[in-house]
Structure 1
């Protein structure tokens, strides 16, 4: 039997080649514009730095106009025009060919950069279905989430005005039981205004009953809302998803019988978040606790798991398991997910062998470039198991501090949840836009044929 040929390999090679060529063209065009200015001003040195600076300003402002919308785009475009006019004034006004060449090269550089970085400039496409107004929508609200966002935005009355039944969580209430009660009373759409822990509990009830859910970003960080493409500052606007909206399916993740929408942490981070002081002072609490957790007299963390490369075992001081693959920037804020429908868990581990690597962790945390830490590893998998000799393991699940008995079995639940979002929202979050300097570095990496850093595995 002749093995079937992989027809996708030539297409992937063609995409990689096109990306490298576009990246090279973007860099070459930028350098070409600078070279023309230098050649035109070489006889008058005092004009040289001004001309080069004007071209750089035009490229940077052009990039800003390329990746933003609205007033910021128009302002950046105005700066581009002014910078190019400055170049014209610095050059010989009769040198029209050189002027046209500089303008053309700047525009060509921006166009080629957009082709190269299409994956970080354009939100991923997702399949959505138009849906009608909820007949019996219910909004469960946690008044303590987000420093009292429910009361601040008057969500109870805002819901009533839209024909949505509000249910306010009282001290001692069981949110899951309230959600189950709402389903028993005939709710056809379940909404929740609260943090990501509350979102996960209601999401589990919704997926068990096959009902759609509405996410209202009334928590502190609202990572789930961000990655759904919602505006986290428009809390009341999220209620529009109970009206005519669009619906999509997203993944959930589960550890044991506990569903989570964002991530679960084990090891040093899970132990730190158990501290009552952590929420008020994350960096200070972390720096104070790390010596006891990772110092020479520390007991260490007994976390046993199978890494992707079995020939290179990992001793991890920290393990993060996420619902989907994150762009990991820092532990305290974590990152964003380009997709919520790939049916995989993201796994991140950190190994801190020496005092230097611990100091490096704090520095990377402050800079927001955790992925560059030497003990950082990242990969994806549908399932993941962590065992331990400890009777109970500290686990932080969507910000909730828990202790669970090992082994801990994590699984992705592909397309488990139906989510409604307002029609005017994009239904998918765009990855963070790179700064001009980071974009230039990314262009260089892609010219060299190196993979994008945010999904690397070491």
Structure 2
């Protein structure tokens, strides 16, 4: 931060007699710093965009300078780069805090990669994963219409696979995880689905699909929890209520916002029928009037109803439970505003806690349920439980664990975190809800 102030001081000293260029150059330097700090604590597209903004702003500042004063130009560049490097060190724990403990392991003796070519808009084909796997000595198995993924995974283990990989969506990851857990073999997650939330929380770069295959070689291995709803495994979350109902609509995948906007008046209006859920053991004698229930494998940092954020840990052996209650249609604008701002947890109807087990009952014969994004109808009661350290997971040694408590949500949040640390306050980036 001192280097940042030094860069700004050089700009002011050099351009104080030129009031037109002064604010432009100063704004460009500040923008370069803020965007650069933001790039330090993110990855993927956001890091690339923030980095491009920082570089563009710094170049603009240099071009606006009096190029005859070369020492000033060089001074600003050096100080800005020094500030970014120092911010990287100061915020190292923001990006590098692990979500589960790992240790080094050697290459797989017989690695098998199951691939769903329909997941993620055809990512398996686009990244040529079949040939990439063969080049690494991994046996590829491509799913065809009508194939039973569980049966293919079971057969792979029976034929000697010691590491099972899955290139597909989170529902497929959960199914393969259950097979791997039951047979005690390690699993590799390849982010070839649409959202790849499990891959994100494992610390994988979802934009670099091929690099996930490195986990079949010299890799890092650790144990993460699995969660169950009745006899079905889930690696991310199970949702009931408005979200699960909207997800099961035919037009949701192609037009998410429009479909949700059309359905919300009926789901949340004055004539809407509540879920009528009973939660045990948290509140065994009381019916919970809630419009959304989310049960997750470990605790989510909930930011948006459409995304749910990420998890700080995958090995705490608990279920995260979230309920969202809307008392009237007047709560809908507040919900939409909280959704847009990314602070759903501050909505007055929001509640969150953790527990190792949960039973959800209802008077309905079937409940609309979303299990890792897959639309199902299940008969209550729904019995949820966490199985601690159930699954052996391998990740590439070069991968970085996800941020502690999720990526910083807003541009400029990295600078706020720096100010808090300078002032001696503890980081607001804690497990659970901010």
Shorter-chain TM-score tier: 0.7 to 0.9
**Aligned partner of residue 278 in structure 2, secondary structure:** coil
Question: How far apart, in 1, do the equivalents of 2:429 and 2:385 lie?
Answer: 25
1:432 pairs with 407, 429, 434, which one?
407
Show the 5 A alignment for 1:183-332. 183-305=157-279, 315-332=289-306
Question: How far apart, in 2, do the equivalents of 1:46 and 1:312 lie?
Answer: 66
2:97 pairs with 90, 104, 123, which one?
123
Matched with 1:142 is: 116
Q: Which runs of 5+ in 2 are unaligned?
A: none
Residue 361 of structure 2 corresponds to residue 387 of structure 1: yes
Instruction: Tell me, yes or no, if the aligned pair for 1:126 and 1:428 is still in contact at 8 Å.
Output: no
In structure 2, relative to structure 1, the CA distance for the partners of 1:320 and 1:450 (3 Å cut) is: farther
Question: How far apart, in 1, do the equivalents of 2:133 and 2:28 lie?
Answer: 52
Matched with 1:420 is: 394
Of 239-248 and 199-208, more deviation after overlay is shown by 239-248
1:121 Cα deviation from its structure 2 partner: 4.1
1:30 Cα deviation from its structure 2 partner: 8.2
Of 130-139 and 276-285, more deviation after overlay is shown by 130-139
In structure 2, relative to structure 1, the CA distance for the partners of 1:303 and 1:243 (3 Å cut) is: same
1:201 Cα deviation from its structure 2 partner: 0.4
Question: How far apart, in 1, do the equivalents of 2:110 and 2:82 lie?
Answer: 53
2:133 pairs with 154, 159, 166, which one?
159
**Aligned partner of residue 330 in structure 1, secondary structure:** coil
Show the 5 A alignment for 1:6-85. 49=23, 53=27, 56-57=30-31, 59-61=33-35, 63-64=37-38, 66-67=40-41, 76=54
- 1:203-224 Cα shifts (integer Å, max 9, x gaps): 0110111100011111111111
1:162 Cα deviation from its structure 2 partner: 2.7
Question: How far apart, in 1, do the equivalents of 2:420 and 2:433 lie?
Answer: 16
Aligned length: 423
Residue 428 of structure 2 corresponds to residue 452 of structure 1: yes
**Aligned partner of residue 305 in structure 1, secondary structure:** strand
1:249 Cα deviation from its structure 2 partner: 1.2
**Aligned partner of residue 330 in structure 2, secondary structure:** helix
Residue 339 of structure 2 corresponds to residue 365 of structure 1: yes
TM-score (norm 2): 0.80
Instruction: Tell me, yes or no, if the aligned pair for 2:323 and 2:350 is still in contact at 8 Å.
Output: yes
Structure whose CA Rg is larger: 1
**Aligned partner of residue 343 in structure 1, secondary structure:** coil
Of 233-242 and 209-218, more deviation after overlay is shown by 233-242
Residue 308 of structure 2 corresponds to residue 334 of structure 1: yes
**Aligned partner of residue 391 in structure 2, secondary structure:** strand
1:406 Cα deviation from its structure 2 partner: 2.1
Matched with 1:176 is: 150
- 1:418-439 Cα shifts (integer Å, max 9, x gaps): 1112222125456314544334
Question: How far apart, in 1, do the equivalents of 2:134 and 2:432 lie?
Answer: 47
Indicate the RMSD between aligned Cα atoms, in angstroms.
4.2
TM-score (norm 1): 0.76
Question: How far apart, in 2, do the equivalents of 1:388 and 1:239 lie?
Answer: 43
Q: Which runs of 5+ in 1 are unaligned?
A: 1-25
- 1:63-106 Cα shifts (integer Å, max 9, x gaps): 2465469987698479569859989x8xxx9xx9xxx9xx9999
